[in-house]
Structures are given as C-alpha cells and as structure tokens.
Structure 1
Amino acid sequence: MKIAVLGTGGGARAHTAKLLELGHDVSVGTRDVDATLARTEPDMMGNPPYRQFLADHPGIQLRTFANAAATADLVINGIDGANALAALTAIANQLAGKTLIDYAVPYLYNPQVEHPWPTPFGVMPKLEPCDTDSLAEQIQRALPEVRVVKSLVTQEQDTVVNPKAVGGGDHTMFVAGDDEQAKKTTTELLRSYGWSDILDLGGLVAARGMEMYAHMHAAIGIALGLGNHFGVKIIRH
C-alpha cells in the first residue's frame, strides 16, 4: 500500500520504519524538505538529524506534506498537535477521499495556568481543545471529504508499532471515527503491527476521551519512571 507519514519526529519515524519493514511504499511529509535535510543537530526530543534516519532506512521518499499526501492511499498524521490543523487544512485537496489516521495530541506547551502541574520534563502541557471538542473533530470539520480516524494516541509510538514489546502484546488499542471503512482500514494496519485487542469506541466524538487520556498516560509513566513503557488492558466481563 502507498502510505504517507506526515512528520519527522520520533513517533513518525517509528511508523515510517515499521511500514517500510512491512513492505509498504512509504512517503514522508515535512514542511520544508531542504530545511529538514539541512539540519545537523538533534531535534527538541533528542532525535538525530533526519538525514541520518534516511541514510539508515533507504527507500523512504521525503516530500512536502502536499506531495506526500497526494501520492498516498492512506495518510498517518504525525504533525504536532499545535500545528496539525493548519498544516492539514492547507493540503485539503491532496487528502480528499482518503483515510487519515490522526494520533496528534493537542498540547499547548509552557502554558500560563493558575495551578501548573510540575513534571520531570517541565510543566505539563495544556490540552486545547479539551472536553467539549477534540483535535480530531476539528480536523474532520475542516476536511469533510477526508475520513478521519483517531487511533494510536494512547501509547508511545514505539509501542504502537511493536505492541509485543509490552506484556507480549496483551493490551488494548482504540479506534474512533465516523466512517466504518476507514476504521476497518485502521484496524487492519494495527493488526499488521501486531495488535490483537482493538476496541472500537464508536464515532469520532470519542476522540475527546483518547486525547484527554494523554494526561493520565503521562501520570502513570511518571509514577513508573520515565522510560518504562506500559500498556492498558480492557478486561471484559
């Protein structure tokens, strides 16, 4: 399948490498190809320059967001939450009619809030939107011809592409969306990654819960110790 991964951060790299390993035709979208290739320093999360990643993974095609989306049958959104809506709206024509799997968290970093939440990595970002809306729903409203599915967001992306690394894979992944075929496509991708327990939460409105879970996931991660990956298992009665 022709798949575009939009973004060059750590999460996007995990998907890109896995998809390439699975034999897909993978394009990666970035805002400015020349600028991405010109970077010689690690990014804000400590990932090495992207040109090194490309050298280590031959076969990946680095393109602009628009060109990557235009060539793909399926698109995975790995653009940071604060910029995702604007970046995706700008390439609406290239996304029209396609399934877009969105795993972005709508974080606002360094928020000025009355009661900040201190963490080992600084003040916890603020979710915006939250509770009465979600980033996924905003994307769907802005791009009505795109079939948006929220998924992948309740795990570190390294674990998303390798669920067996935690508990032998015995934990749960979630999907939500208003298009049944798009959710089926997403589920098939998840199964190819190794997921066996996939829970359909219903319509895209459930993306609110998945995005808000990011805070709980962070709290658990801090309690366990940073770097200790974990999974959540839904136990049915």
Structure 2
Amino acid sequence: MKVAVIGTGAVGQAMSKKFLELGHKVFMGTRDPQQSMNRKDSDQWGTPGIGAWIEDHPQVQLKSFKESVKSGSDLIIFAMNGMAALDVLKKIGSEILGDKLMIDISNPLDFSQGFPPTLSVCNTESLGEQIQEAFPKLKVVKALNTLSHPLMGNPGAIEGDHNLFICGNDAAAKEKVTGLLGDFDGKRKTSSI
C-alpha cells in the first residue's frame, strides 16, 4: 500500500516507521521538503529533526504536502497539530484528497495561553466533523489520537487487551482502519462510533 503521512514530528515519524515495518511504501508530507531536510537537531522532547530521521529511514520519501498525497494514494495519515488541519488540507486541495481514506490522529491543541494547552474544538463539535464537512468526499476516520506516539505503533508495550476508539461516518472506512490497526500487533479490540 502507498501511504502519505502528513507531518514530520514525533507522531508522523512513529506512523511512518510502523507502516515501513509492515512493508508499505511511505511518503511523508511537509511544507518545505528542502527546509525540513536541514532540520537535524532533536527537539526538547528528544524527537529527532526530520532531516536526521530521514537519513536513518531513507526508504521514506519526503515531499510537499500535496505531492505526498498524490504519491501515497491508498491512505493518508494526518499526524500534525489539529490547529493546522483545515489549512493544510485546503492547501492540498479537494481535487487531490478526493474520496481517499484518511486516518486523522490530530488533536486541536491550542497553546496560545501556554501550557497545558486547551482544545480549540470540543464539547459540541469535533475537529473530525469539521474536516468531514469541509471535504465531504474524503473518508475521515478519527483514530489513535488518545494515545501517546510511542504506543501508537507499539501497542505491545502495554500488556493485555487493547481498546481503541474508531470514529467516522463511513462504515467501510472504519472497518478498513480497524483492520490496518489490527496489523500493528494483532491484539487490538476496537469500538466504532
């Protein structure tokens, strides 16, 4: 499968690594690939700069947001801060997003008032709903956003049964995502809403 991972931070790196391990072709999307390749230093949490990470994972192709989605035509993973979701997806464009399947891992974290962040969208509406409304053909499935990035691709790090919430308005898309996530370790149980 060809997978476009939108985002180059800790979550994007974790998802790209996992899909590589599962034998998929991965295209990672960023605003400016050349500028991103120059980022080598780790951030304050120890996440490697994407330039250094790509050097260690040369199978991943770093492209612009739009080009990564064109290349990763089977599945999109949105792995950025949710505050940027609508803007980034609009830049990619409805015609390119089409009716593709997208796993939205993002949370709309608002750091404008410092730490800890608040949610910019909550209670009566969700970011997933906003994305679905803006791109009605896109098959948006919200998943993994309740986990920290080290667990997303390595659920076996916690013993026992695993439960994940899978949300979206397309039953077939949710079933496909459930199957993909089951491949991560074969032990996950999911609840669709």
The residue that corresponds to 1:187 in the other structure is 178
Amino acid at match of 1:149: V
The residue that corresponds to 1:89 in the other structure is 90
1:108 to 104, 107, 110: 110
Structure 1 gaps of 5+ residues are: 112-121, 203-237
TM-score of the superposed pair, with normalisation by structure 1: 0.76
Distance 1:33 1:58 in 2: 14
- Count matched residues: 191
Change (3 A) 1:83 1:48: same
Amino acid at match of 2:90: T
Distance 1:175 1:128 in 2: 21
Deviates more, 1:122-131 or 1:14-23: 122-131
Contact 1:77/1:102 (<8 A) preserved: yes
2:183 counterpart SS class = helix
Distance 1:41 1:22 in 2: 27
What's the C-alpha RMSD, in Å, of the aligned pairs? 1.5
Q: CA deviation at 1:82?
A: 1.2
Distance 2:95 2:28 in 1: 18
Amino acid at match of 1:109: F
Distance 1:110 1:45 in 2: 19
Amino acid at match of 1:95: L
Distance 2:115 2:165 in 1: 27
The structure with more radius of gyration: 1
Q: CA deviation at 1:44?
A: 5.2
Contact 1:174/1:198 (<8 A) preserved: no
List per-residue Cα deviations over 1:131-150 (Å, max 9, x = no partner): 01111111111111100000
Distance 1:70 1:158 in 2: 28
Q: CA deviation at 1:199?
A: 2.7
List per-residue Cα deviations over 1:114-133 (Å, max 9, x = no partner): xxxxxxxx631111111011
The residue that corresponds to 1:116 in the other structure is none
Alignment of 1:119-138 (within 5 A): 123-138=115-130
Structure 2 gaps of 5+ residues are: none
Amino acid at match of 2:99: G
Q: CA deviation at 1:195?
A: 4.8
1:198 and 2:189 equivalent?
Answer: yes
Distance 2:19 2:170 in 1: 23
Q: CA deviation at 1:41?
A: 2.9
Amino acid at match of 1:86: D
TM-score of the superposed pair, with normalisation by structure 2: 0.93
1:152 and 2:157 equivalent?
Answer: no
